[in-house]
């Protein structure tokens, strides 16, 4: 009966502590090279005879290369940890400067940003509510509220402010809830729930986060294996805290997003 030969793949060699350089230097060309019939891959399959691998692993050359590779890996890990700590320290110390805008202007920009994200036309300012393109607009800064948005005058909205016949909503001259303009967070105490005020609060926080995206550059040099997720969480928390300090009426929504 013929002896059955056992081979190791390149992945198997790595699991045994081999690096790419060690394979090239100590093993050279693979014993078998071809295509894996079970899966399609551009790269050929490289197989190394287990007996030859074990023989090389018993040599002084392999021991020296393995020790050097271990030192290099430890140095790389230490360097990555230093980068991670440096980035975290920078994020903690960096002042987050939030642009302070009048409420009507921030609402107008937030609605316009929302429209641009949705692919719709940007609203043009005009007479009416603050920053609104038309009297009785469902949200300040919008020329024509999108269908289905609470507070919209579009048919089928089915929410306060809807002008559709039979919607069970107040007519055009009816007062808004809370005595304020529709969509203004102050009309409902800045609640971030459902309804025009809550939607507009979320849009304003979204817009301010977009403006502050420049601080993402603080994450440069970090990758998944070097603590990038931790740094992203810290930066996100600091941005929301800065927004809440600059705009206390948006603090509840910022706190909700950091939970």
Kindly tell me if the per-residue pLDDT of 198 is higher than 70.
yes
Looking at the structure, do residues 115 and 225 belong to the same domain, yes or no? yes
Looking at the structure, do residues 132 and 204 belong to the same domain, yes or no? yes
Looking at the structure, do residues 14 and 134 belong to the same domain, yes or no? no
- Condensed to tens digits (0 to 9), the pLDDT of residues 99-150 reads 999 999 999 999 999 999 985 444 444 433 444 443 344 444 444 444 444 4
Distances (CA, A) of 85 to 90, 94, 152, 192: 9, 14, 49, 35
Report pLDDT for 119: 55
What's the total number of domains in the chain? Answer: 2
Tell whether 170 is covered by a domain: no
| Half-sphere exposure in the Cβ direction for 53 (13 Å, CA) | 23
**List of long-range contacts for 37-42, beta carbons under 8 Å, 24+ apart:** none
Q: What is the CA radius of gyration of the chain?
A: 31
Whether the model clears a pTM of 0.95, i.e. scores above it, the answer is: no
Looking at the structure, do residues 50 and 108 belong to the same domain, yes or no? no
Looking at the structure, do residues 105 and 210 belong to the same domain, yes or no? yes
The sign of the dihedral angle between the CA atoms of 173, 174, 178, 182 is negative
| Half-sphere exposure in the Cβ direction for 237 (13 Å, CA) | 11
Tell whether 31 is covered by a domain: yes
Neighbours of 67 (CB within 10 A): 10
- Condensed to tens digits (0 to 9), the pLDDT of residues 6-27 reads 899 988 999 999 999 999 999 9
Domain span holding position 207: 97-138+182-259
């Amino acid at each position: 009966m013929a002896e059955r030969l056992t081979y190791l793949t390149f992945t198997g060699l790595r699991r045994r502590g081999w690096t790419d350089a060690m394979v090239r230097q100590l093993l050279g060309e693979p014993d078998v090279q071809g295509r894996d019939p079970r899966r399609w891959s551009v790269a050929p399959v490289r197989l190394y005879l287990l007996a030859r691998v074990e023989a090389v692993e018993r040599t002084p050359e392999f021991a020296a290369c393995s020790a050097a590779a271990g030192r290099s890996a430890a140095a790389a890990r230490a360097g990555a940890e230093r980068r991670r700590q440096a980035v975290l320290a920078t994020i903690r110390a960096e002042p987050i400067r939030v642009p302070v805008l009048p409420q009507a202007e921030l609402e107008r920009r937030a609605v316009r940003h929302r429209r641009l994200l949705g692919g719709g036309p940007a609203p043009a300012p005009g007479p009416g509510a603050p920053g609104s393109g038309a009297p009785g607009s469902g949200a300040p800064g919008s020329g024509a509220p999108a269908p289905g948005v609470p507070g919209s005058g579009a048919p089928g909205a089915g929410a306060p402010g809807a002008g559709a016949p039979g919607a069970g909503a107040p007519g055009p001259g009816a007062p808004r809830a809370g005595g304020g303009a529709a969509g203004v967070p102050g009309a409902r105490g800045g609640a971030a729930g459902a309804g025009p005020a809550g939607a507009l609060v979320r849009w304003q926080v979204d817009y301010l986060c977009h403006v502050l995206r420049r601080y993402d550059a603080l994450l440069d040099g970090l990758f998944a294996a070097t603590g990038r997720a931790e740094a992203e969480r810290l930066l996100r928390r600091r941005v929301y805290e800065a927004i809440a300090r600059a705009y206390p009426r948006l603090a509840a929504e910022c706190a909700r997003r950091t939970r």
